[in-house]
């Protein structure tokens, strides 16, 4: 019986909105912004700090800064006061939150490496959503982004996610072998929702047989 669905997504393809529709239809808990909020609470830092670090590897300047602090006398003395929240710290907390959410079940989890953290569970459906670049840009324009920013974000965010998955899970992004289904959201959010729901029924029936 499937009680967890992970939604990994290309930036701008509507993955968050589709995950929300799916969770609402199933009556399940949605772990998207809620996941970020819980990570921030456990890390004892503002949500905005987590948002700029999750699903990203730390940039070079930040890694060098951490190395300097860890190697210097002043840094070692003041480290507890600095409360530096880096990508590795966020990843460890994310793993804990994702696994706890999965244990509770009946949830839709969006990104954050959840498909890899939970890859050995039998009660999970892992979905990857993507779209043509022009569709992703169009969605971002509809959200109020200007065209230059939309095009930059479409390329930059997915590149950061690919680097994050490669660094921490040692696989290419998307790792096609890990997903049960991959869907092009250009067919429309409602159509994708119905496809996932239909696929879920077929998958559960096959598993039961």
- Looking at residue 59, what is its pLDDT? 54
Residue ranges in the chain whose pLDDT is less than 50: 60-65, 69, 72-82
Predicted local distance difference test score (pLDDT) of residue 52: 86
Contacts of 111 (CB under 8 A, 6+ apart): 6, 7, 8, 9, 15, 32, 55, 161
How crowded is the C-beta side of 17, counted as CA atoms within 13 Å? 16
What local confidence, expressed as pLDDT, does residue 100 receive?
98
Domains of the chain: 4-202 (3.40.50.300)
Contact 56, 163 (CB under 8 A): yes
**pLDDT for 199:** 97
Rounded CA-CA distance 33/10 in Å is: 17
Which positions ≥6 away from 205 have C-beta within 8 Å? none
DSSP class of 207:
H
Question: What tokens were used for 5?
Answer: 């669905």
Which residue carries 């300047």 as its tokens? 61
- pTM equals 0.88
Q: What is the pLDDT of residue 84?
A: 62
């Amino acid at each position: 019986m499937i009680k967890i669905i992970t939604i990994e997504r290309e930036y701008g393809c509507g993955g968050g909105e589709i995950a929300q529709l799916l969770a609402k239809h199933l009556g399940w808990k949605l772990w998207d912004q809620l996941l970020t909020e819980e990570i921030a609470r456990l890390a004892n830092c503002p949500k905005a700090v987590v948002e700029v670090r999750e699903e990203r590897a730390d940039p070079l300047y930040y890694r060098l800064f951490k190395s300097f602090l860890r190697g210097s006398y002043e840094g070692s003395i003041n480290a507890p006061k600095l409360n530096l929240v880096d990508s590795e710290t966020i990843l460890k907390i994310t793993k804990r939150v994702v696994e706890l959410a999965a244990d509770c079940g009946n949830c839709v989890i969006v990104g954050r490496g959840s498909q890899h953290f939970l890859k050995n569970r039998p009660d999970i459906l892992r979905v990857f959503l993507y779209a043509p670049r022009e569709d992703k840009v169009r969605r971002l324009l509809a959200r109020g982004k200007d065209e230059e920013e939309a095009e930059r974000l479409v390329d930059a965010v997915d590149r950061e996610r690919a680097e994050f998955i490669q660094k921490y899970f040692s696989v290419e992004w998307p790792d096609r072998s890990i997903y049960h289904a991959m869907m092009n959201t250009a067919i429309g959010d409602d159509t994708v929702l119905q496809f996932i729901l239909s696929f879920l029924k077929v998958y559960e029936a096959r598993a039961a047989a």
